[in-house]
Copies of this chain bind each other. A is one copy, B any other.
Amino acid sequence: MEENIIYIGNKPVMNYVLAVVTQMNGGTDEVFLKARGRAISKAVDVAEIVRNRFIPESDVGSIEISTEEITNNEDVQTNVSTIAIQIKKD
């Protein structure tokens, strides 16, 4: 089983929407959106735009949230929240 993961970062929302649509139109039945920190809101936007506007036969599957420890530029450890959203076709 192939896992298709799209990491949500600083690019415009529609870049990631296009990435999902391209993968799904290429025959992939499920895609995982992964994001950390402030990009979490954008990951939710991507999922909603895909299912509402571009791929009506897709839907949101599992949504998982978690915490990762990261080390910043000054070597200080902080926690950052993460999200993984599954988008799947019927």
Contact = CB atoms under 8 A, between A and B. Distances in A.
Nearest to A67: B48
A44 interface: yes
A24 to B, nearest CB: 18
B48 A44 contact: no
The size class of the interface chain A forms with chain B is: 20 to 34
A65 to B, nearest CB: 5
Interface of A: 37-41, 44-45, 47-48, 52, 60, 63-67, 79, 81, 83, 85
11 contacts: A37-B41, A38-B38, A44-B83, A48-B65, A48-B66, A48-B79, A48-B81, A52-B67, A60-B65, A63-B63, A65-B85
